[in-house]
A and B are shown apart, each in its own frame.
Chain A
């Protein structure tokens, strides 16, 4: 049981990022900035969470909003500026990572309050870590948004054929701005959780997290071209990646090999998947 919870805990932060990424990729975009946002918002959170400085809620909400703002910038640039998502989010990844470094003066921000540490460290009821609870809540909200709301259906329509969606009266720019903002908000939340969990706001945190999130989304069956994908596929893939890391650890496989195996599995999964339904066949 504790083992399972430990596993879920490992999956949580990547899982939360993957849920945000899922919306972006289904809408036909990509968000490379989430890893940098995790670091940036982690530093903000840590700077606001020194003991006796601000109310706890400030240290949680401010970074989440900051993440949302970066996401909104991404969304507006993609939707209104007509710049490819890859470029926009690559640029904001660099800017935001730089902002994290200068904000933290290049070093991790330490000395966090007891309350802030408890945000991720707590355990609820019969041994369920808070982190897992957050992940479950984010997944549930994402699932509802994607499957049951008009917004979710419009995300699919936009990714499936943005022109047809616009002709059908869907405000495509608004949808784009919304998905990137959502991804940014969730990345901000993940930044808070990571800072709380590691007891520091490190400007070098979250390195490569965007790729892990993209990996989970693609492994879960979301099409990189947009328009296709499910929340449970993303959830399962995020869990699978965590199980894999966990299992390999216990088998004493060195961490350097984890990456090779993870890469291989993603390659094979996407390849098998692509055989059946790739366009043009």
Chain B
């Protein structure tokens, strides 16, 4: 019998800009967790889109259990036994868990069949009655089978990201998917919940379901994968049992050169206080936060998802109306009621989600670069595109974006380049205080390193940096001090010489006092 459940052979794809996949082979065994790794733009997403029938292939063949297939969309792929769980999930938040699992194939009530003429109701198609009880029971059976501790009647909205992922998995396997593709499943999940997800993946594997796991986090890849395939520049460069790799060889395969794994911290003299925040509050989300930030300093802000870190910096930046507190900038008390005011006081905020809040995806690179400095470059209300272009020039070079066409749509760029466009936009406003909210989320090693280098350069210029990151190695590598938040409050401050993951995690765990509200 064919040992492989899925075989992709010689898959090639060319876009107008050039080839993205050259003859890629990928073979996934039954009940195998197969990690697919590679830098951004290596072709992982395209390969998966071809598998799911969302993109047509130029050459190559795909076999499932030995039978050649060519899906014309995710719906057909699902009927063929493949489900994909996307990076950004979109569940229906106002429905309960069971309804989400059975979305689009709701169980219908047949009890009316015994009631004479009403039996016809069973054949009413979309108008027939939904059997909510049966859906809940069926859902509970699946939860039990996969050892998931969740209630089928819980409202989707009240679930954590990790729990939503689990629901997606149940949705996939309950439709008899034999192969589940997971694209960066952990990117939106706080560290301690990753284990919950991975335990369920192990259960799936034990039941013969194959999982294709795409991730940038190599620790996770080594934790969960049986086999690893590495894509680089559209070609398969390595595919072997996970045990055959170690971290360094894997990274070498991915980047194609010797990686510089540890970035030495920039040694910068710490100067005067640029920003002082006293008792900053926003309702119950941000409670009496105090801190100060000096020129040349990188201040880390650690905490679990929902600790109020993003809300704190958003309030500081004028995106929320502070309910209490004072903000002092360079020794002067300021009231910041809008991002416009924050920018005027030379604060920049690189928001957490570049697609949602960072970029105009319908706009070009040039439009996105200029959007925060339109007024500054204008004369008498008229835009001066040449001036904008000139202003952006040095910034674009510094970030290595010069190869990009300014007229390209930002939606066509890789994640790393998109993030660099956001950074460039903010650097053009000439900020003295730069706030980064998860600046390297979803980026590959090279883009990540570029951003770390940039942060070092900013403090060398005497700017102050406030850095939110859920990746502790990143935070501990870059920061001078780390503040820890939980439940909207600051729970501790740790100086660089006493950084330890254990202490940060201890401070970040929410107290029982705040857990009930």
Q: Is A97 an interface residue (CB 8 A)?
A: no
The smallest C-beta distance from B362 to any residue of chain A, in angstroms, reads 4
**Contacts A164-B357, A169-B339 hold; do A150 and B363 have CB atoms under 8 A apart?**
no
Is there contact, CB below 8 Å, between B360 and A160? yes
Contact with A along B118-150 (1 / 0, CB 8 A): 000000000000000000000000000000000
Question: A residues within 8 A CB of B375?
Answer: 150
* Contact present for A150 and B382 (CB under 8 Å): yes
| A154 & B360 in contact (Cβ 8 Å cutoff) | no
B370 at the A interface (CB under 8 A): yes
Count chain B residues whose beta carbon lies closer than 8 angstroms to a beta carbon of A.
29
Q: Is A134 an interface residue (CB 8 A)?
A: no
The 6 A-B pairs at the shortest CB distance, nearest first, are namely A160-B360, A227-B362, A168-B372, A160-B362, A169-B343, A169-B340
For the complex with contacts A153-B370, A157-B371, 11 further pairs of A-B residues with Cβ separation under 8 Å are: A148-B383, A150-B374, A152-B383, A153-B383, A160-B362, A161-B360, A163-B357, A167-B339, A167-B357, A167-B358, A223-B362
In the bound complex, do residue A156 and residue B382 qualify as a contact, i.e. CB atoms below 8 Å apart? no
Contact between chains at B425 and A163 (CB < 8 Å) = no
8 Å CB interface, B308-349 against A:
317, 319, 338-340, 342-343, 349
Question: Does B367 reach chain A (CB closer than 8 Å)?
Answer: yes
Complexed CA–CA distance, A151 and B378 (Å): 10
Does A166 contact B319, Cβ atoms closer than 8 Å? yes
User: Are A150 and B378 in touch, CB under 8 angstroms?
Assistant: yes
Of A151, A166, A228, which contacts B339 at CB under 8 A? A166
A2 at the interface (CB under 8 A from B): no
19 A-B residue pairs with CB within 8 Å: A148-B382, A148-B383, A150-B374, A150-B375, A153-B374, A153-B383, A156-B362, A157-B360, A160-B367, A161-B356, A164-B359, A166-B339, A167-B319, A169-B339, A169-B372, A169-B429, A171-B338, A223-B362, A228-B362
Complex Cα–Cα for A160 and B411 (A) = 12
Contacts of B343 in A (CB 8 A): 168-169
Given A166-B339, A167-B358, A168-B425: A160 in contact with B363 (beta carbons within 8 A): yes
1/0 contact string of B358-396 vs chain A (CB within 8 Å): 111111000100111011001001110000000000000
Contact of B356 with A163 in the complex, beta carbons under 8 Å? yes
Q: A168-B425, A171-B340, A228-B362 are in contact. Are A151 and B371 (CB under 8 A)?
A: no
Give the distance in Å from the alpha carbon of A153 to the alpha carbon of B382 in the complex: 10
Please, what's the 1-or-0 string for A137-153, where 1 marks a CB less than 8 Å from any CB in chain B?
A: 00000000000111111
How far is the CB of B468 from the nearest CB of chain A, in Å?
15
A163 to chain B, nearest CB (A): 5
Give the interface of B toward A (CB within 8 A): 317, 319, 338-340, 342-343, 349, 351, 356-363, 367, 370-372, 374-375, 378, 381-383, 425, 429
Are B359 and A161 touching (Cβ within 8 A)? Answer: yes
Q: Give Cα A148–Cα B377 distance, bound, in whole angstroms.
A: 12
Task: Let me know if A149 and B383 touch, CB within 8 A.
Answer: yes
Say whether A150 contacts B358, CB under 8 Å: no
Residues of B within 8 A of A157 (CB): 360, 363, 367, 371
The listed residue with most A CB atoms (<10 A of its CB), out of B358, B362, B370, is: B362
- Residue-wise, chain A 174-203 has the 8 Å CB interface mask toward B (1 for contact) of 000000000000000000000000000000
- B residues near A149, Cβ cutoff 8 Å: 378, 381-383
In the assembled complex, the CB of A257 is this many whole angstroms from the nearest CB of chain B, namely 35
Cβ–Cβ < 8 Å partners of A163 in chain B: 356-357
- Report A-chain residues with C-beta under 8 Å of the C-beta of B429: 169
Q: Could you tell me if B360 and A164 are in contact, using CB atoms closer than 8 angstroms? A: yes
Instruction: Tell whether A170 is near chain B: CB-to-CB under 8 Å.
Output: yes
